[in-house]
Amino acid sequence: MTEGTNVALAPADQQGSRTSYLRALFMRSESLRGYALLSPTLAVMLFSMCAPFALMVIMSFWTQIGFKFDTALSVTNYREILDSPIYSALLIRSLKISGACALATVLISYPMAYYVAFHVHRRKLLWIILMTLPFWTSYLLRVFAWKIILGYNGVINSGLKSMGLIEQPLEFLLYSPTAVVITLAHAWAAFAVLPIYVSLEKIDRSLLEAAADLGDGPVLRFLRVTLPLSLPGVMAAMLLIFIPTVGDYVTPALVGGPDGTMIANIIQAQFGKVNNWPMGAALAISMMAIVAVISLAYVWVSRKATEQIG
């Protein structure tokens, strides 16, 4: 495809009927011209995603021997992942933490998105920017902020102590799965607010008027009109948060402690101090595969559910 377009892009220098034919074909086909324009971007993105992933898949079938790789293909790594209880336990914990985080973030963000969509009439733009602004600032620093807030001698503990409300620091705050969920919910809030806001904003206001005219009170109207129509945004938000957070390792490393360690911490260790790259590749692929299966199942179920409602 690119070959043809390149030829056709050359200056029109009457090289013969073949070139002009290609050129005519090219100019006539909007799709081809579109692809010609798109090709650098698409090529860069495809190459820099496909090549590393293909290689990672291959490497996951290798085995690490000392500082070298045994490049004979085997499923040793995957067998070990299945056999060893640590990996599955960590994976299940990661899925639970991410699921809880996605749910919590969507629940706290829904009223906010609702407020901006229905009750903010002036300066909507300012509200939207305010809601999403922290998302763009340093992730590392935001996680670090939670570390100093939840820490043993951190903001909450030292604050409560200096007010005389507690004698001993509350230990459950930092280094727990709860701390990870709170930190992640804070970090990914924008991914929940925006899709929900967009789906709420799209709702035709006359439907709400109609529901009201037909006698629905505010609660019923919300349950029967607003909520079902905003479900696509809610579904998207859940996925947009769930998928990346399963693979997060900074938050668990900084605020998770031993009970909050997630699968990505183990993957990171395979490429660091454990130095078993093939195992790390196999773990990364297993994680991706499970997340993909869960996401697809989720999309399927939610489609079915939405059809039922509609």
φ, ψ dihedrals at 62, nearest 5°: -90, 175
CB 69 within 8 A of CB 62: yes
CB 251 within 8 A of CB 183: yes
Reference 168, options 178, 182, 158, 181; nearest CA is 158
Rounded-to-integer distance, Cα 178 and Cα 184, Å: 10
Rounded-to-integer distance, Cα 38 and Cα 44, Å: 10
Q: Which of 97, 116, 196, 237 binds another protein (CB under 8 A)?
A: 116
Rounded-to-integer distance, Cα 7 and Cα 16, Å: 12
Which residues, 38 to 67, sit near another protein by CB under 8 A?
Answer: 38, 40-42, 44-46, 48-49, 51-53, 55-56, 59
What's the min distance (Å) between Cβ of 173 and another protein?
13
CB 150 within 8 A of CB 173: yes
What's the min distance (Å) between Cβ of 186 and another protein?
6
What's the min distance (Å) between Cβ of 193 and another protein?
9
What's the min distance (Å) between Cβ of 41 and another protein?
4
CB 252 within 8 A of CB 260: yes
Rounded-to-integer distance, Cα 306 and Cα 69, Å: 49
Binding-residue pattern over the window 119 to 138 for another protein, x denoting contact by CB under 8 A: x-x--xx--xxxxxxx-xxx
Distances (CA, A) of 20 to 7, 10, 24, 32: 10, 10, 6, 15
The DSSP letter of residue 66 is T
Nearer to another protein, 15 or 153 (CB): 153
What's the min distance (Å) between Cβ of 210 and another protein?
11
What's the min distance (Å) between Cβ of 160 and another protein?
9
Name the segment binding another protein (CB under 8 A); options: 77-85, 147-155, 171-179, 299-307: 147-155
Distances (CA, A) of 75 to 60, 110, 157: 8, 44, 49
What's the min distance (Å) between Cβ of 156 and another protein?
9
Beta bridge partners of 65: 68
Which residues, 78 to 107, sit near another protein by CB under 8 A?
Answer: none
Q: Which of 87, 188, 197, 249 binds another protein (CB under 8 A)?
A: 249
Nearer to another protein, 22 or 128 (CB): 128
Q: Which of 153, 275, 301, 309 binds another protein (CB under 8 A)?
A: 153
- 140 near another protein (CB under 8 A): yes
What's the min distance (Å) between Cβ of 10 and another protein?
14
Reference 141, options 96, 187, 194, 104; nearest CA is 187
Which residues, 266 to 285, sit near another protein by CB under 8 A?
Answer: 267-268, 271, 277, 280-281, 284
Name the segment binding another protein (CB under 8 A); options: 16-24, 80-88, 146-154, 173-181: 146-154
Which residues, 173 to 232, sit near another protein by CB under 8 A?
Answer: 186, 189, 204-206, 208-209, 212
Q: Which residue do the tokens 């039922």 mark?
A: 308
Interface with another protein (CB under 8 A), residue total 90
